[in-house]
Chain A
Amino acid sequence: MRRTPLAGVIAGLALVLAAAACGGGDDGGTGSGKSVDPATVSGTVTYWDTSDAAVEGPAFKELIAEFKTKYPKVNVNYVNVPFGEAQNKFKTAAQSGSGAPDVLRTEVGWMTEFASLGYLAPLDGTYALENAGDFLPAPAGSAKYNGKTWGVPQVTDSLGLLYNKDLLKKAGHDAPPKTVAELKQYALDVKSKTGKTGLTLNVDAYFLLPFIYGEGGDLVDAANKKITINSPQSVAGLTVVTDLMESGAAPKPAITDSYTAAITALKEGKTAMIYNGPWSATDALKGSAFKDRANLGVAPVPAGTAKAAAPTGGHDYTVYAGSKNLDASYAFVRFMSSTAGQAKIAAKLGLLPTRTSAYSVPEVKNSELVNTWKPIVDTAVPRAWIPEGGQLFEPLVQAYQGMVSGNTDAAGAAKTVDGKYRAILKGWS
């Protein structure tokens, strides 16, 4: 955490300057923005951070402290808003025109909704967007809507399989499962040989996607305006989940506080495998089961009969359209999303940078967490970036809960969700 802060600052500044110089060099069209003297930018930037306040927050705060040294006249008002509340809180504030932050850490799934509602400032050609060609295609795609850029990617992520190497080994498996069939078998082996739980599911729509993608299904096909949750492939994906639960491979998961229940079970060594993302690695390593850090394994999600795929996640920096401090906000976003800034966060937290250039920074190149997750993120499947995207998860969560509590089977769940999607996406086939 606290190794040689001064050296870090200097290295960071040097990288920023280098990156700025690069950006300035090939200016044409890449949207590296006007050149601005950091010493003259002034104002107050209220920043809503939705990262985990205890685990991730401190690293972002350190980066913000560096920003303040570089832009001495800009004051940053850092507010940590719980991820689950941020979307509604921002929308209420943005709509009423009072209390909205200048800069918000926006989950990629919220981007098109916010942009379509006019809450975000378009960033093309502003100082915020530096060397836009450097961003990885998937995260960059999440920030685009209607031909404009509404956000600057902060981190990218996806889902993978987090596993307890020791427990798998005791069950007779040296390598993580590669297919869902193996997943089921390994989980049952863990159960029978160690008495622990094999796989703990998190009853959440996002965590259901790898199973649906794995069988070749999806929620919707945005390009053809088709609702595909009730397709045979998607139903097959849901069936995989019900089979895991019914076979005992993944015993009935908790519905209330499901996320916490799953990660806590992994941390305490009560379960061998869970699905989770790069953001959770720092938290998982704090668990008693991972006193030896090497015991935590991370692998791509097991493949279904069609493929192995997890959804693209991540977060973008967005600027509120009604901000009174646009220039300062642009400067803030530019600094935070710079190669050096991303590298610093990646090195500390293992979060994946969205800039290609950040991956060649030595600290990132040598980060074990980053190297583990990079191939997973590279093959991640982008979700449908439509304004209604934020509404698609709620019906799916409810159906998933119905499947867990035995109220409905996979086919019934898919049919219910299909009906609800038709009410949201009017005119889709």
Chain B
Amino acid sequence: MTVSARPETGARTRPAAARGGRRGGRDGGRPGRRSGRAGSARWYAWAMVAPVVIVMGVLVGYPLLRGVYLSLTDATEANVGRTIGMNEIPATYGFVGLDNYLEIVRNGTFWLRLGWTALWTVACVGLHVTLGLGLAMLLNRRLRFRGLYRVLLVLPWAAPAFVSTFIWRYLLNNDFGLVNGMLRATGLPAVHWLDDPTMAKVSVIVVNVWLGVAFNMVAMLGGLQSIPGELYEAARVDGASAWQQFRHITLPMLRPVSQTVILIGTIWTFNQFPVIFLLTRGGPDSATEILVTAAYRDAFTGIRDYSGAAANGLVILGLLVVMAWAYRRSLRRHGEVW
């Protein structure tokens, strides 16, 4: 519909649009917003992106706006209206302003969980990137069976995360798990991998690192292979040590890849629901509960709390947006265009 309306109005101003279009690549769609003429003139571009815009609007935009609205109400499973067969339940929820958000911020456990979520994210991403880079460096040289090693190292990533997590859950089982079985067989005391609050924290991090290293390794390997070999040759000619080569060629040249990997890794890990939920269910005594698993538990235990869940979700979204924004800013300050 919107597409068919464009051509008539757009035809007049094509030159201006072409100019705007050439610049538009750099700073978003800003020229289009400045005047209706320029935007409507690019009807063809709009027509091409329309399906994506519509799908995103339906799948992302609408739920997001609905979430914002719900988070400002006291809607629960009990008071949203519905008719099921012979039962009719009237809608009785109302607007409560920022109450849900205030409740989250005032809740002491929220801050505890935020602290653990931050620690969990930093630990996982840090290990992901360093181990991923290390393995990538090892595999980036000529050695026998390199292809085989690569395949084996990618396997953890290729298997569905929930399957791997379940396998880990069995391996780490207290009484009947393989890991404790081996410990006992060698005469060592069994470890409460998932049942001790501190060990459970270590276990979830280890499992998540195991799951995520492969992706980081593949990404880093791609980055390493795109670094021109001449740079290293030149450095060697100039007498640079291995460390100097790594520090002044590898790391800077890898930055476009590593920055992206760190950013998406952070977002993924921050919201890494399956590993925590399937491994420990947030336990013992919510020791490993991160913000998303806590939000799920609050929302889906008993009568579902839609408004509280929406507020929780938006708080998490807000935290990630702020973090991504700060990260981009710090990169820009270092002269990176990202």
**Does A pair with B?**
yes
Closest B residue, CB atoms, query A392? B302
**Given contacts A118-B87, A390-B303, are A261 and B285 in contact (CB under 8 A)?**
no
Contact: B85 with A391, CB < 8 Å? no
Contact: A118 with B88, CB < 8 Å? yes
A-B contact pairs, 29 of them (CB 8 A): A91-B304, A95-B82, A117-B77, A118-B82, A118-B89, A119-B84, A120-B87, A121-B85, A252-B195, A254-B175, A254-B195, A255-B174, A255-B194, A255-B195, A256-B172, A256-B173, A256-B194, A256-B195, A256-B284, A257-B169, A387-B78, A390-B301, A390-B303, A398-B283, A398-B286, A405-B195, A407-B197, A407-B284, A408-B285
B71 at the binding interface (Cβ < 8 Å): no
Contact: B77 with A91, CB < 8 Å? yes
Contact: B283 with A401, CB < 8 Å? yes
Complex CA–CA separation, A256 to B191 (angstroms):
13
Mark A126-163 against chain B: 1 for CB-CB distance below 8 A, else 0. 00000000000000000000000000000000000000
Q: How far is the CB of A227 from chain B (nearest CB, A)?
A: 15
Q: Of the 9-residue stretches A42-50, A177-185, A240-248, A316-324, which lies at the interface with chain B?
A: A316-324
Complex CA–CA separation, A88 to B277 (angstroms):
15
Complex CA–CA separation, A88 to B77 (angstroms):
12
Complex CA–CA separation, A43 to B191 (angstroms):
55
Residues 376-401 of A at the B interface (beta carbon under 8 Å): 387-391, 394, 398-399, 401
Which residues does chain B contribute within 8 Å of A95, judged by CB atoms? 77, 82
Q: How far is the CB of B213 from chain A (nearest CB, A)?
A: 24
Complex CA–CA separation, A401 to B172 (angstroms):
18
Q: How far is the CB of B90 from chain A (nearest CB, A)?
A: 10
Residues 85-108 of A at the B interface (beta carbon under 8 Å): 88, 91, 94-95, 97
CB-contact partner of B174 in A91, A118, A261, A408, under 8 A = A261
Complex CA–CA separation, A424 to B304 (angstroms):
12
CB-contact partner of A388 in B86, B89, B176, B302, under 8 A = B302
A122 at the binding interface (Cβ < 8 Å): yes
Complex CA–CA separation, A257 to B193 (angstroms):
13
B73 at the binding interface (Cβ < 8 Å): no
Closest A residue, CB atoms, query B88? A118
Contact: B302 with A401, CB < 8 Å? no
Mark B49-89 against chain A: 1 for CB-CB distance below 8 A, else 0. 00000000000000000000000000001100010111111
Complex CA–CA separation, A120 to B87 (angstroms):
8
B271 at the binding interface (Cβ < 8 Å): no
Complex CA–CA separation, A255 to B88 (angstroms):
42
CB-contact partner of A391 in B175, B195, B281, B303, under 8 A = B303
Contact: A256 with B302, CB < 8 Å? no
Mark A314-344 against chain B: 1 for CB-CB distance below 8 A, else 0. 0000001111001000000000000000000
A113 at the binding interface (Cβ < 8 Å): yes
CB-contact partner of B176 in A117, A255, A264, under 8 A = A264
